[in-house]
Structure 1
Amino acid sequence: MKTNNFLLEIYNEFFYCITWPKWEDLQSTTMIVFFFSIFLSIFLYGVDGFFIFVIKKLFSL
């Protein structure tokens, strides 16, 4: 009986207590995360290239 009650509480919590975002909000936040991820990856690629350049110059002396 406890398992049945537990599953019923999960169902009620999932469908009646959680507020889900609207589709437009979900799309806008997804786009923000997408563009920020692209920007961050390009930035880190540049920083990595800079450090590789500096290390090669230091050790080629």
Structure 2
Amino acid sequence: MRKNNFFLDIYNEFFHCITWPKWEDLQAKTMIVSFFSIILSIFLYGVDGFFILLIKKLFSL
């Protein structure tokens, strides 16, 4: 396989065979991912705080 054919195949695959998402879909999915990332970070912050409190209580006896 020659390099020219390889890069031409990459170009054809990239521009003619891939279905790119619509801008509205991309925005909606970005908002969903952002929302769940914030929710997960708040949850993990709470769990971390709980374990810190638990360890402090456990070792202060």
Length-normalised TM-score, structure 2: 0.96
For structure 2, the residue ranges without an aligned partner over 5 or more in a row are none
**Share of identical aligned residues, percent?**
82
Q: Equivalent residue for 1:5?
A: 5
SS of structure 1 residue aligned to 2:19: coil
Length-normalised TM-score, structure 1: 0.96
Q: Distance in 2 between matches of 1:13 and 1:54?
A: 55
Specify the code of the residue in structure 1 equivalent to 2:54.
V
Q: Equivalent residue for 1:23?
A: 23
Q: Distance in 1 between matches of 2:34 and 2:50?
A: 25
Q: Distance in 2 between matches of 1:6 and 1:35?
A: 41
* Segments ≥4 residues shifted beyond 3 Å: none
- Aligned CA RMSD, in angstroms, stands at 1.0
Q: Distance in 1 between matches of 2:30 and 2:59?
A: 43
Q: Aligned residues, how many?
A: 61
Q: Distance in 2 between matches of 1:16 and 1:7?
A: 14
Q: CA deviation at 1:41?
A: 0.5
